C-alpha cells in the first residue's frame, strides 16, 4: 500500500478517472443554490441533482470532482478519531453511461493496483443490498466484485437502511449501493463481526450508488430510463488508511494546523485524552470556518441559518482555545495554517484571505469579552440552581445577553451533570421573536405580517432604499440581510464593510425621493426564479421561494423578487428621510428611515 499525502491522493484520484474518460468539474459552493432543504452542501451529489434527473451536463456523461462538504449534525462528536464538520468528497459520476460492472471495476483497480493505491486486496471488505419487497437482492454488484477476484466471504448483504440511497418518503431516482471497507486490524467485537459493523474494525472508505429505480408518489419502484452511478470516497479517511494512522487528525492534512495550535498553547498534542480532544475541536472548527468564510458564496457570522452555524463553530473553538491557554486573538493564526494547507487547490481561500482573517478576528473580539462575562453568569446561575435543570428563560438570557448559542449552554451544563429546559428556551425565544417582529416565519414569508397601507408604503421604500444603496455605493455586494417594518418606520440591514458617509446617505435619500416625485406606477409580475434573475431582478432568500415568484418593479429604479405588499404608485409614499445609520453585526450595516406625509 502506498503512503501518500492528502494532496497526492486528491490529484491521483482525478488523474485516474481522467484516464477513464472522465471530465474534471470544480467543487461547487458550500452554500447550496436554490435548495431550501439544507443549509450546506453535504454530499457530492447535491450540485449534480439536475443532471442525475436527466439534464445534460456541459462536460458530458462521465465526471470526476473533489467536492467540499459540511455536515453539522455531529458537531458534538467532533474530537474523536474520525468526526469532522468539513470534509472533501472524491466522486466519480456516470450520467446514463456505464453502470455497475464498470463502476466496480474502476473502484477495484484504483484501490488495489500498484499503479494507483496498491491496497492489499485481503484487507478490503464489501456490502451489497440484500433485497426487499420493492427491489431484488443486488446479486449483480456481488458478482461484479467476485469477478474482480474478491473472496465471496468478504461480501455481506445488508438491508435497505445500510445499502440504499434515497431517504424514506422520497420520490425520484434511488437505488442500491455497495460500500467498501478497510480492515483496520482491530479485534472484532464478536465472532460474527463483519463489514457494516460500527465497532471500528471495518472503516468505510468508498460508496458506489447505483440509481436504477424511480420511486413514484404511489410508492412504486420503477426502472429508470437513465441509470446513473454516484460514488463518494472520503479523502480524510482514505488518507488516514494510507498513512497507517489511527485518526484523521493524525494525517498531513491536519499536521500544520495542529502544530500551530501547539505553538500557541504550549501544550503537546496527545499529552492527554482531554487535551487531544480540545486540539481536534479547534482544528476542525477553524478549518470549517475558514472554508465557510472563504467560499465563493462566503458567509459571515450571524444569528440565523448558515451564519449561526459559523458563529457556533467559531465560538466553540474560542472556548476550547481559552481552556488550552491560547492567547486572545489567535484564531487568525490557526486559519493561516488552514489556508497554507488548502489554498493551492481551493484558490478562493487565498483570494479571500484578508476577509477570512478579518472576520475571524472581529468575531473573536466580540465573543471573548461576552464569553468571560457569560461564563461568570453561568456559574452564578448554576450555584443558585435548585435541582438539575437550567430553566429555559435563563438559557435564553445567556443567548440574548451574552451571545451563548443554546448548544454551548447545553454543553456546559452536561459537563456538570445538568440539563437545559430546551422547550422552555424555545418558548422564550419565540416570545422574543413575536415581540420584535423578526421571527423566522416572517423572514421567510417574503412579506409582512402587518398589511396596513403605511407598512405597504414603507415596504416599497425599502426596495428603493436598497436600489439607492447599490447605486450610490457602487457595489453589487450590497444585499439585504434583514428588515423590520412597523407602521411608523422601516429598519433595513444590508451587507457593507464600512460606515456609510453622511454625503452618501444624502445621495441615497435623493435617489429615493426622485423616484417618489415621479409618481411611477409599480408593476407586479409572476415568473419563475430563473426568469426573474434573467430579467435583472434581485432577491433575498431566493432558494426559499416556490416555482413562481412575484417581481415588483419601479421602472428605472428597482426590480426585486418579493412577496409584497406594496404601494401602487411611488407618489403615495411621501418624503423619505433617513434617521440613523449604524453597525448591526460583522459586515452588516443598519439604516432606520421614515416616510413623512406633508
Mean of pLDDT values over 210-221: 87
**CATH class as words, domain 6-245:** alpha beta
Q: What's CA 354's distance to the chain center, in Å?
A: 21
**Cα 49 to Cα 55, 99, 228, 255, 295, distances in angstroms:** 9, 18, 11, 35, 21
The domain locations on the chain are 6-245, 251-380, 385-436, 443-596
Q: C-alpha cell of 381?
A: 446561575
Mean of pLDDT values over 58-83: 87
- 3-class DSSP state of 369: helix
Residues 129-158 have pLDDT tens digits of 999 998 999 999 999 999 999 999 999 999
β partners of residue 125: 181
Residues 466-479 have pLDDT tens digits of 999 999 998 767 88
pLDDT of residue 563: 57
**Cα 258 to Cα 24, 80, 187, 357, 433, distances in angstroms:** 31, 15, 29, 18, 41
pLDDT of residue 488: 82
Which percentage of the chain shows pLDDT scores above 70? 92
- Give all strands (DSSP E) within 255-314, no chain letters: none
Residues 547-596 have pLDDT tens digits of 456 788 999 999 988 755 688 999 999 999 999 998 876 678 889 999 99
Residues 496-514 have pLDDT tens digits of 889 999 999 999 999 999 9
Mean of pLDDT values over 176-200: 92
Mean of pLDDT values over 502-530: 91
pTM reported for the whole predicted model: 0.68
Q: Render 513-554 in DSSP notation, one character per residue.
A: HHHHHTTPBPEEEEEEHHHHHHTT-B-SSGGGS-SEEEEEEE
Confidence band of 59 (pLDDT split at 50, 70, 90): confident
Residues 234-285 have pLDDT tens digits of 999 999 999 999 899 999 999 999 999 999 999 999 989 999 999 999 999 9
**Cα 103 to Cα 9, 91, 127, 207, distances in angstroms:** 19, 12, 15, 11
Q: Which residues of 265-275 are buried (b: 16+ CB within 10 A; e: fewer)?
A: bebebeeeeeb
Alpha helix locations (H) across 230-272? Answer: 235-243, 252-265
pLDDT of residue 293: 95
Residue 371: is its pLDDT beyond 80? no
Mean pLDDT, the chain, whole residue set: 87
pLDDT of residue 287: 97
Are 6-245 and 443-596 the same fold in CATH? no
CATH topology classification for 443-596? 3.30.980
Mean of pLDDT values over 175-198: 93
Higher-pLDDT residue of 55, 520: 520
pLDDT-wise least confident of 4-13, 26-35, 163-172, 405-414 = 163-172
Residue 49: is its pLDDT beyond 90? no
Confidence band of 452 (pLDDT split at 50, 70, 90): low
Q: C-alpha cell of 527?
A: 415568473
Please state the φ and ψ torsions of residue 555, each to the nearest 5 degrees: -50, 130
pLDDT of residue 167: 53
Strand-strand pairing, 164-165 and 155-158: unpaired
- Give all strands (DSSP E) within 46-141, no chain letters: 62-70, 86-95, 124-129
Q: Which residues contact 216 (CB under 8 A, 6 or more apart)?
A: 171, 222
Q: What's CA 569's distance to the chain center, in Å?
A: 40
Long-range pairs for 146-150: beta carbons < 8 A, 24 or more residues apart: 148/104, 148/105, 148/108, 149/108, 149/121, 150/108, 150/121, 150/124, 150/126
Among candidates 292, 301, 291, which has minimal Cα distance to 585? 301
Amino acid at each position: 500500500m502506498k503512503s501518500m499525502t492528502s494532496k497526492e491522493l486528491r490529484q491521483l484520484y482525478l488523474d485516474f478517472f481522467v484516464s477513464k474518460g472522465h471530465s474534471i468539474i470544480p467543487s461547487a459552493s458550500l452554500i447550496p443554490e436554490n435548495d431550501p432543504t439544507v443549509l450546506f452542501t453535504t454530499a457530492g451529489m447535491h450540485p449534480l441533482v439536475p443532471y442525475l434527473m436527466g439534464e445534460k451536463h456541459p462536460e458530458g456523461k462521465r465526471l470526476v470532482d473533489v467536492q467540499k462538504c459540511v455536515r453539522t449534525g455531529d458537531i458534538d462528536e467532533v474530537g474523536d478519531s474520525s468526526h469532522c464538520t468539513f470534509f472533501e468528497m472524491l466522486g466519480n459520476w456516470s450520467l446514463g453511461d456505464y453502470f455497475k460492472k464498470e463502476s466496480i471495476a474502476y473502484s477495484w483497480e484504483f484501490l488495489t493496483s500498484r499503479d494507483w493505491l496498491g491496497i492489499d486486496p485481503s484487507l478490503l471488505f464489501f456490502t451489497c443490498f440484500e433485497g426487499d419487497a420493492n427491489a431484488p437482492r443486488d446479486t449483480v454488484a456481488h458478482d461484479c466484485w467476485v469477478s474482480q477476484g474478491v473472496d465471496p466471504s468478504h461480501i455481506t448483504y445488508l438491508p435497505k437502511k445500510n445499502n440504499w440511497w434515497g431517504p424514506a418518503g422520497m420520490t425520484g431516482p434511488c437505488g442500491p449501493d455497495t460500500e467498501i471497507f478497510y480492515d483496520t486490524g482491530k479485534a472484532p467485537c464478536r465472532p460474527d463481526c463483519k463489514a457494516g459493523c460500527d465497532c471500528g474494525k471495518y472503516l468505510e472508505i468508498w460508496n458506489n450508488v447505483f440509481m436504477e429505480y424511480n420511486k413514484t408518489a404511489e410508492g412504486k419502484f420503477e426502472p429508470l430510463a437513465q441509470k446513473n452511478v454516484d460514488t463518494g470516497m472520503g479523502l480524510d479517511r482514505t488518507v488516514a488508511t494510507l498513512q497507517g494512522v489511527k485518526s484523521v487528525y493524525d494525517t498531513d492534512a491536519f499536521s500544520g494546523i495542529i502544530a500551530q495550535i501547539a505553538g500557541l498553547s504550549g501544550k503537546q498534542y496527545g499529552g492527554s485524552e482531554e487535551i487531544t480532544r480540545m486540539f481536534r475541536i479547534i482544528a476542525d472548527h477553524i478549518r470549517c470556518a475558514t472554508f465557510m468564510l472563504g467560499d465563493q458564496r462566503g458567509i459571515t457570522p450571524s444569528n440565523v441559518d448558515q451564519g449561526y452555524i459559523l458563529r457556533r463553530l467559531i465560538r466553540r473553538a474560542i472556548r476550547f482555545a481559552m481552556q488550552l491557554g491560547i492567547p486572545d486573538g489567535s484564531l487568525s493564526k490557526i486559519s493561516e495554517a488552514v489556508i497554507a494547507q488548502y489554498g493551492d487547490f481551493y484558490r478562493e481561500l487565498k483570494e479571500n484571505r484578508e476577509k477570512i482573517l478579518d472576520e475571524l478576528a472581529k468575531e473573536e473580539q466580540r465573543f471573548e469579552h461576552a464569553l468571560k462575562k457569560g461564563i461568570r453568569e453561568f456559574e452564578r446561575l448554576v450555584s443558585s440552581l435548585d435541582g438539575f435543570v437550567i430553566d429555559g428563560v435563563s438559557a435564553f438570557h445567556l443567548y440574548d445577553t451574552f451571545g451563548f448559542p443554546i448548544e454551548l449552554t447545553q454543553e456546559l451544563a452536561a459537563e456538570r451533570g445538568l440539563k437545559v429546559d430546551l422547550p422552555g428556551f424555545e418558548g422564550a425565544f419565540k416570545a422574543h421573536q413575536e415581540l420584535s417582529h423578526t421571527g423566522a416565519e416572517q423572514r421567510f414569508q417574503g412579506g409582512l405580517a402587518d398589511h396596513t397601507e403605511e407598512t405597504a408604503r414603507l415596504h416599497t421604500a425599502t426596495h428603493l432604499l436598497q436600489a439607492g444603496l447599490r447605486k450610490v455605493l457602487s457595489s453589487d455586494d450590497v444585499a439585504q440581510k434583514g428588515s423590520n417594518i412597523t407602521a411608523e418606520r422601516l429598519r433595513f440591514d444590508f451587507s457593507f464593510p464600512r460606515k456609510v458617509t453622511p454625503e452618501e446617505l444624502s445621495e441615497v435619500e435623493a435617489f429615493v425621493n426622485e423616484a417618489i416625485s415621479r409618481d411611477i406606477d409599480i408593476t407586479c409580475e409572476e415568473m419563475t426564479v430563473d426568469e426573474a434573475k434573467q430579467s435583472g431582478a434581485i432577491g433575498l432568500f431566493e432558494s426559499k421561494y416556490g416555482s413562481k415568484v412575484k417581481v415588483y418593479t419601479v421602472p428605472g429604479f428597482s426590480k426585486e423578487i418579493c412577496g409584497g405588499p406594496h404601494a401602487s404608485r411611488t407618489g403615495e409614499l411621501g418624503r423619505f428621510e433617513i434617521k440613523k445609520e449604524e453597525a448591526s453585526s460583522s459586515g452588516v450595516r443598519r439604516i432606520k428611515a421614515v416616510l413623512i406625509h406633508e
